[in-house]
Structure 1
Amino acid sequence: MNIDIVKNLDLFQNADEKTLETIANLLKIKNYPKGSHIFLEDQKAFGVCFLIEGAIKLLKSDSFGKEHILKMVPEGSVFGEIVLFLGGNYPATALAVKDSKVAILYNEELEKQIANNPLLAINLIKIISTRLRIAQDKIKELALLDTKRRLYNLILKWAEAKCYGCTGCIKCTKCTNDKIIIDMKLTQQEIAELIGTTRETVTRTLKELKDKGIIELKKGKIILLALDRLKNLCIDII
């Protein structure tokens, strides 16, 4: 793999040239067509993965087969890292939302590199700590907010670029007239799975925001017209 690509992977940022060269030689590149699985929930773990190009979602299914999206994986981000030291099985399923290129690093190889390079260990701790924070915030929202306010908060996080777990699913652009264009890569069904509700609730809530003049809806885009009004609809639970 090209070293410049490795430099942009979150786990190896600021690594020295020797480490980057070693990792580039160890990474195995695989292509996954849309709808294919990188790994399945409860499958024996083989290594950690990095999204080079495309879109990947991590999800769990309940006993009724209903899917709940845990996160969208941003390009350049590691996923499946939870099994690195513990081994065992993957706790969730990784599904390609569109044609994707994934780099795989087998556990024993990465463990050797981390043992010899404290910077990698620090990067990994930072990544896991950030994801723990995301999980805690999500638990708070599920416990304390109704479905409408979960969606309000999600749009607000997208608009303020604070959606740590979903940076791979949106692109924000602030216009000169204070409009904020949120370029979506998610369907309304996927948004529903992300916040633990139904597609009908997402559709209805977005229409209500549109009718109030807070947002406009265009194909694949949410245009936020009134950031302060949206903030007033949200409940601060931090």
Structure 2
Amino acid sequence: MIQEDILLEFGAKRDVFSKGDQLFREGDTAVNYYQVSSGEVKMNNYNADGKEFIQGIFTAGQSFGEPPLFANVNYPANAEAIIESEVFKLHKPGFLDLLKAKPEMHLKVTETLAKRLYYKAIMASEISSQEPEHRILRVLDYLKKHVHKTEGAFSFKVDLTRQQIADLTGLRVETVIRATKSLQKKGELKIVQRKVFR
């Protein structure tokens, strides 16, 4: 989102995280802007039974964890590397200086946050009231259109495990497996060598 040279100009450091490493934990004080250079990072929470709910998955060029920087609140979720990842970390004062000095970057950050808020509003409604198949299609369509910016039937290869789809939609893995098979029969998805295409 923000060009890497600009991040470095304002004092960002590039850190490497191994699979499973925590970048921050729910309840930690928000002190940094994070942007993925390579790899994948998820933000998640666990309920009292230990079930994971994935708030979002972030890949190269995407940022995460910014709202608490603006609201002066603690992180509402954990951030964890899904695979080995390189992540830019910019301390809050440097991030705010960057936004003041580069209004076009400020606008990009604002647009990104607005899109995430829109997604959260849609998903809150979907998860509370819709059938599993509908929930799955909404998540996949959001990723296809807004994250990967792909168009055309079955042009989007879903690089999520069945478990990750379950954690994004609040479903059980068994339900996701049944629902994706049903969606394939209806022509909504294609499954090729265990990979889902939308």
TM range (shorter): 0.7 to 0.9
- Counterparts of 1:23 and 1:128, CA distance in 2: 18
The structure with the larger Rg is 1
Question: Percent identity, aligned pairs only?
Answer: 25
Which residue number in structure 1 is paired with residue 181 of structure 2? 207
TM-score normalised over the length of structure 1: 0.74
Which residue number in structure 2 is paired with residue 236 of structure 1? none
- Letter matched to residue 133 of structure 1: Y
Relative to 1, partners in 2 of residues 1:142 and 1:22: Cα closer, same or farther, differing over 3 Å? closer
Which residue number in structure 2 is paired with residue 182 of structure 1? 156
Relative to 1, partners in 2 of residues 1:119 and 1:153: Cα closer, same or farther, differing over 3 Å? closer
Matched, 1:68 2:53: yes
Q: Contact between 1:185 and 1:220, CA under 8 Å: does it hold in 2?
A: no
Matched, 1:196 2:181: no
- Counterparts of 1:140 and 1:127, CA distance in 2: 20
Q: CA deviation at 1:222?
A: 1.9
Q: Structure 2: where are the runs of 5+ without partners? A: none
- Counterparts of 1:73 and 1:86, CA distance in 2: 21
- Counterparts of 2:137 and 2:7, CA distance in 1: 41
- Counterparts of 1:21 and 1:200, CA distance in 2: 45
Q: CA deviation at 1:88?
A: 3.4
Matched, 1:59 2:44: yes
- Counterparts of 2:67 and 2:197, CA distance in 1: 36
Give the SS at the match of 1:180: coil
TM-score normalised over the length of structure 2: 0.87
Q: Contact between 2:18 and 2:81, CA under 8 Å: does it hold in 1?
A: yes
Deviation above 6 Å: which 4+ runs of structure 1?
none
Alignment of 1:109-148 (within 5 A): 109-148=94-133
Q: Contact between 2:154 and 2:189, CA under 8 Å: does it hold in 1?
A: no
Which residue number in structure 1 is paired with residue 70 of structure 2? 85
Q: CA deviation at 1:63?
A: 1.9
Relative to 1, partners in 2 of residues 1:128 and 1:210: Cα closer, same or farther, differing over 3 Å? closer
- Letter matched to residue 20 of structure 2: G
Give the SS at the match of 1:222: strand
Q: CA deviation at 1:79?
A: 0.8
Q: CA deviation at 1:214?
A: 4.5
- Letter matched to residue 23 of structure 1: L
Q: What are the Cα deviations for residues 16-69 of structure 1, in whole angstroms up to 9, with x where unaligned?
A: xxxx75532311010001111111111122201000000111111112221101
Q: Contact between 2:154 and 2:190, CA under 8 Å: does it hold in 1?
A: no
RMSD: 2.3
Which residue number in structure 2 is paired with residue 24 of structure 1? 8
- Letter matched to residue 24 of structure 1: L
Q: What are the Cα deviations for residues 85-118 of structure 1, in whole angstroms up to 9, with x where unaligned?
A: 3333211111111110000000011112223333
- Counterparts of 1:94 and 1:81, CA distance in 2: 12
Q: Contact between 1:181 and 1:222, CA under 8 Å: does it hold in 2?
A: no
- Counterparts of 1:214 and 1:89, CA distance in 2: 40
State the aligned residue count.
197
- Counterparts of 1:142 and 1:21, CA distance in 2: 39
Relative to 1, partners in 2 of residues 1:52 and 1:214: Cα closer, same or farther, differing over 3 Å? same
